[in-house]
Structure 1
Amino acid sequence: MGFLTDDEIAALRPAQEAMFRSPIPTQVVSSDEFAPVPQTAQQREVEARIIAMADELGGHQGLDRRRFLTTASGMAAAFVAMNDVYGPVFGVNRAEAAEPDRAAARAAGLRDQFIMDVHTHYLREDTRLMGFVEMRKAVGRAGWNPALNPQEQSIESLMYANWFKEVFLDSDTKVALISGAPSDLPQDWFLTNEMKFNARRRINEAAGTRRAMSHAIFTPGQPGWMEQVERAIEELKPDSFKGYTIGDNTNKNLAQWPWRLDDEKLLYPFYERLLKAGHDIVCVHKGLFPPSIEARFPHLRPYATVDDVGKAAKDWPRMRFVIYHSAYRFAGGGTAEQGLEQFDRTGRVEWTSDLADIPAKYGVSNVYGDLGQIFAQTTVVQPRLAAALMGTLV
């Protein structure tokens, strides 16, 4: 089920008709969860420049537009076009777009770099969470990933076999961490902790080396949660623990047990137990809570911010706190334009700037920011915002 009305859907054009098939997206599409932002004037200019360069440079290389845009030179041309519109944000030059050998040499030079994906998901075989299939179809219809034929996507595309193929066979990923998300409804967990453990063991035994890691999800406040932590420590031996301070991120309307990192009664015994067992990493989902989501679930906002991180980090200096998404607020229903407008006006971006302030404010060095979603959500829409966020965090 989506969140758009029939009238709203009727007012939209199908993505496969509206989208230009660029190596880098030049327009936002909807997954039937939110009304897409219209293509901006800057995005239209980027698109026009990509088309012009593809026709010119592709012709010189004996390639039509579509074929050129699938090459390394085509990717370079797209970044050149973005630099022309947004300013010199990306490290690319026109020679890479014009000369295939240069583009290929750069790609080859990056081939052996170590890539670890610390935030991967797939769904359990008995999942009820069918909305992710529609998201995947939307990506295919948009042409962002031509391999995702929207007619062929099914829930099986989001399960173990295809996850393994895409992470370890179709990409340059060397090590992947299997994560997940909890729910107040047991059947709506992406994966149980046992499922993650079994997948990690299966992969590493087959590889003969450590290619997979796994989280154990912890759920403060839920009945029996510390018993589950104890079982994870003793039997599953996860590589780290991960939690969601808003509780049930999948079904926010059902979230009964939000929590804070600095809750001395609820969380501090947990940290003590982890350290005693030799674990010193706690990963925490923060952010992805734009104003549109806050309007629907205002009671969860205090748990989505980073107001609780500093005290916990100061009180537990031996514990490392990894804040997923760097608490960036404006994804998942917000827009990069909101973030950029806020940065241009104030020099700050909720709640990533607050996260970056914590080390100096609290005198700590055990707080870290994850970049996956935050980078993906801003780079192709407002690269100036992506640069601002990277500068803020670094």
Structure 2
Amino acid sequence: MAHYLTDAELERTAPAEVASFKGPVPTQIVSNGEFNPPPQTQEQRRVESRVDALAGDLAPRHGLSRRQFLASSAGMAAAFLAMNDVFGPIFDVQRAEAATPGLADARAQALAGQLIVDAQTHFVRDDFKQEGLLDLAKYAKQHWNRGLWGESTLARYKFENYVKEIFVDSDTKVALLSGAPFDDPTWNLLTNDQIATARAAINQIAGSRRLLGHAVFTPKKAGWLDEVDRAIATLKPDSWKGYTIGDPLFPSKQGSYWWLDDEKLMYPFYEKIVKAGITTVCIHKGLLPADYEKSWPGVWEYATVRDVGKAAKDWPQINFVMYHAALRAFLETPSAALNEFEQTGRIKWATDLAEIPSKLGVKNVYAEVGTAFANSAVADPRFAAAFVGTLVRGLGAEHVLWGTDSLWYGSPQWQIEALRRLEIPEEMQRKHGFAPLGPADGIVKSAIFGGNAARLYGLHVKAVLGEIGNDQVAAIKAQY
């Protein structure tokens, strides 16, 4: 991950609510303010133009304004039609869904009860005061949008909006709240105690188990195993979160990076969590800039999966979940990665992850797709198809977890719809031995969306859906 925007970079950007096309699906990779996003590609401009044209043509048929149409289920269908027009038939969508009143709504309603477990979500604590983010918002209000709200509070990324965008504005049923460690503790998004408090608050309000929570562990930091003991005894996390790369924002100057298979450092931790029965370990992997060897010297290897296989083989009792599926590419168009895939059949670090089970005979390695799927689906859905196909072929559909990294990308509903409709092109299936992903509520996608996480987190699908369907959050969503 790279540094915050310079003054020169800021001059070349505009706020998403002003510069971005207000369509159902983003037509440009969007930054959360920490990075300079790549410019809109020619294909994305074509998608944007096509969506706009479809809205102008179809909105009157629904008796809606252009804006109302784009916010509707039919508008969502139109967005995927436009993407197919530009990128080829990647998404399962028919023109009738966008053109015929009621058809898209009926489809959306039929899928609304699907179990969606988002295995990676974030919000920031109320007292988050890191000047980088606050100064960016103030700059945006001064130079871009006088009406911008929350420039001094970061309310956009806080608890109240989190509940709305995750549980009300999307079909997500259960979410896993995560955190992240930094060399500079003022960057910490949430403490372990705050994650546990948020979990308790949402579940109490809902009257159901809507929110799961991580405890972040930080090898090499003083007293880290004592914090693990405290978390086990008092916080009782649903799983663990770690960053082998150390600080995820900047190459660590404190040497806070580490290996999963470091027997002296990590195996005492594994002994503790196995004894406690909290045996799912989620690890941030991948997501480095294209010049990672130069910009992250001596550190970048810790973002690869070279340490996963041995740890998984030595500890079959533990589920090792690699976040972002270890995809190297981050906040860049996937054209280079797609070209590499088409020439070699490999996707940097994600293919390495997918090959671990066949090479080592392990069954306890998983991939989570947060950020990696969102960015590729926006920039080139053909790469998204190759990415998901690679994971399913190597790990098996039962070892791929849904995650969105929201709130960084707003409500995750567009990501949910993208995977529901995604299909691997037939020629790609034949060439690379990929199986079809199938329908939105078929075996493969149901496993990815919720079945696999339900198994890891002890969620009984029918019981959970029954409980959640009648809880307080469901009532709020129905009124909303």
Q: TM above 0.5, one fold?
A: yes
Relative distance call for 1:186 and 1:42 in structure 2 (3 A) is closer
For residue 374 of structure 2, what is the amino acid of its counterpart?
Answer: A
Alignment partner of 1:58 is 2:59: yes
* CA distance in 1 between partners of 2:371 and 2:116 (Å): 16
Aligned ranges for residues 171-250 of structure 1 at < 5 Å? Answer: 171-250=170-249
Q: Which residue of 1 aligns with 2:112?
A: 111
When structure 1 is superposed on structure 2, of 382-391 and 31-40 the one drifting more is 31-40
* CA distance in 1 between partners of 2:14 and 2:53 (Å): 24
Q: Which residue of 1 aligns with 2:337?
A: 339
| 1:193–1:217 CA contact under 8 A, matched in 2 | yes
Q: Which residue of 2 aligns with 1:290?
A: 289
Cα offsets for 1:118-169 (capped at 9, x unmatched): 21212122223355568899999xxxxxxxx844454133222332333333
* CA distance in 2 between partners of 1:156 and 1:11 (Å): 25
Relative distance call for 1:275 and 1:46 in structure 2 (3 A) is same
Relative distance call for 1:126 and 1:386 in structure 2 (3 A) is same
Per the TM alignment, residue 61 of structure 1 is displaced from its structure 2 partner at its CA by 3.1
Q: Which residue of 2 aligns with 1:146?
A: none
For residue 298 of structure 1, what is the amino acid of its counterpart?
Answer: P
Q: Which residue of 2 aligns with 1:307?
A: 306
Q: Which residue of 1 aligns with 2:445?
A: none
When structure 1 is superposed on structure 2, of 178-187 and 321-330 the one drifting more is 178-187
Alignment partner of 1:77 is 2:68: no
* CA distance in 1 between partners of 2:14 and 2:241 (Å): 39
* CA distance in 1 between partners of 2:5 and 2:150 (Å): 24
For residue 44 of structure 1, what is the amino acid of its counterpart?
Answer: R
* CA distance in 2 between partners of 1:165 and 1:41 (Å): 33
* Paired residue secondary structure (1:267): helix
Q: Which residue of 2 aligns with 1:280?
A: 279
Aligned ranges for residues 157-176 of structure 1 at < 5 Å? Answer: 157-176=156-175
Tell me which of 372, 376, 381 is aligned to 1:378.
376
Q: Which residue of 2 aligns with 1:123?
A: 124
When structure 1 is superposed on structure 2, of 52-61 and 283-292 the one drifting more is 52-61
Q: Which residue of 1 aligns with 2:387?
A: 389
For residue 86 of structure 1, what is the amino acid of its counterpart?
Answer: F
When structure 1 is superposed on structure 2, of 209-218 and 57-66 the one drifting more is 57-66
Per the TM alignment, residue 358 of structure 1 is displaced from its structure 2 partner at its CA by 0.4
| 1:330–1:338 CA contact under 8 A, matched in 2 | no
* Paired residue secondary structure (2:102): helix
| 2:245–2:258 CA contact under 8 A, matched in 1 | yes
Q: Which residue of 2 aligns with 1:49?
A: 50
Per the TM alignment, residue 270 of structure 1 is displaced from its structure 2 partner at its CA by 1.0
Q: Which residue of 1 aligns with 2:458?
A: none
Tell me which of 354, 363, 366 is aligned to 1:365.
363
Cα offsets for 1:199-257 (capped at 9, x unmatched): 22222233333222111111111111111111111121111111000112244344422
Per the TM alignment, residue 183 of structure 1 is displaced from its structure 2 partner at its CA by 1.8
Relative distance call for 1:19 and 1:134 in structure 2 (3 A) is farther
Per the TM alignment, residue 48 of structure 1 is displaced from its structure 2 partner at its CA by 2.4
* CA distance in 2 between partners of 1:203 and 1:32 (Å): 28
Per the TM alignment, residue 38 of structure 1 is displaced from its structure 2 partner at its CA by 3.1
Q: Unaligned stretches of 5+ in structure 1?
A: 141-148
Identity %: 51
What TM-score do you get using the length of structure 1 for normalisation? 0.89
Q: Which residue of 2 aligns with 1:102?
A: 103
When structure 1 is superposed on structure 2, of 372-381 and 31-40 the one drifting more is 31-40
* CA distance in 1 between partners of 2:87 and 2:183 (Å): 43
- Structure number with the bigger relative contact order (C-alpha 8 A, sep ≥ 6) is 2
| 2:322–2:366 CA contact under 8 A, matched in 1 | yes
* Paired residue secondary structure (2:127): coil
* Paired residue secondary structure (1:284): strand
| 1:286–1:305 CA contact under 8 A, matched in 2 | yes
When structure 1 is superposed on structure 2, of 376-385 and 179-188 the one drifting more is 179-188
* CA distance in 2 between partners of 1:168 and 1:11 (Å): 34
When structure 1 is superposed on structure 2, of 311-320 and 192-201 the one drifting more is 192-201
* CA distance in 2 between partners of 1:170 and 1:16 (Å): 18
Aligned ranges for residues 252-291 of structure 1 at < 5 Å? Answer: 252-291=251-290
Q: Which residue of 1 aligns with 2:349?
A: 351
* CA distance in 2 between partners of 1:132 and 1:360 (Å): 43
| 1:181–1:250 CA contact under 8 A, matched in 2 | no
* Paired residue secondary structure (1:197): helix
Q: Unaligned stretches of 5+ in structure 2?
A: 142-146, 393-480
* CA distance in 2 between partners of 1:304 and 1:389 (Å): 18
Aligned ranges for residues 85-96 of structure 1 at < 5 Å? Answer: 85-96=86-97
* CA distance in 2 between partners of 1:167 and 1:326 (Å): 22
* CA distance in 2 between partners of 1:155 and 1:306 (Å): 34
What TM-score do you get using the length of structure 2 for normalisation? 0.74
* CA distance in 2 between partners of 1:329 and 1:139 (Å): 30
| 1:286–1:327 CA contact under 8 A, matched in 2 | yes
* CA distance in 2 between partners of 1:287 and 1:294 (Å): 13
